[in-house]
Amino acid sequence: MSGVVRAKKRRLSATEVRKTVRPGDSGTGRHLRDWGARLVCVRHRVDRAKGVRFTTVEIVASKERALRPRPEPHPGALVYARVGVNEWELENRIRTAKTATFDSFLNVWQMRYETAVRLKLKRRLLLRRPNRRVGFAPWRSEISNIPTHPESNISAHPPQDPSEFE
């Protein structure tokens, strides 16, 4: 043998849960006193192969505030989606749906939310309505759901010349 020590795989013995007891029920007094409000339940297990009976305690290890998901728009609400310049397949999919229109002034696709969900465009939706006074949909990553390039100098959306639209 070349000095390599191989660890034996330790097979966990099969245990069966005999009884699960909630805090405050008979038999949980000592554990309730030890763990208090963190106690979730007490389980009594039996390992028949080894002939052992043991007690396990389930407790809450940490408690954090859950993030609330952003509310989804009404299915009929108008939403705006951005499609990249070289994404021909996606653009063709949107065109064949015949329920979306391209706004060349803002450079975005306008459609109902239910259409965006059906075409699997939820991640491409703009978080805010594009500003018509400026003439372009926002390119900043905090407004757009399209991820930016890892190199900060390369934008996810190519810059455009405003004179094209005059």
> What does the pLDDT profile of the chain (166 residues) look like in tens digits?
455 566 555 555 688 999 999 999 998 999 999 999 999 999 999 998 888 999 999 999 988 888 887 788 888 888 988 888 888 888 888 998 888 988 888 888 999 999 999 998 888 888 777 776 655 555 555 555 555 545 545 444 555 555 655 5
pTM metric for this prediction: 0.43
CA-to-CA distance for 92 and 76, rounded, in angstroms? 22
The pLDDT value given to residue 59: 93
CA-to-CA distance for 156 and 65, rounded, in angstroms? 33
Specify whether the CB–CB gap between 97 and 65 falls below 8 A. Answer: no
Q: Which two tokens stand for residue 21?
A: 């007891």
The pLDDT value given to residue 154: 47
CA-to-CA distance for 79 and 128, rounded, in angstroms? 9
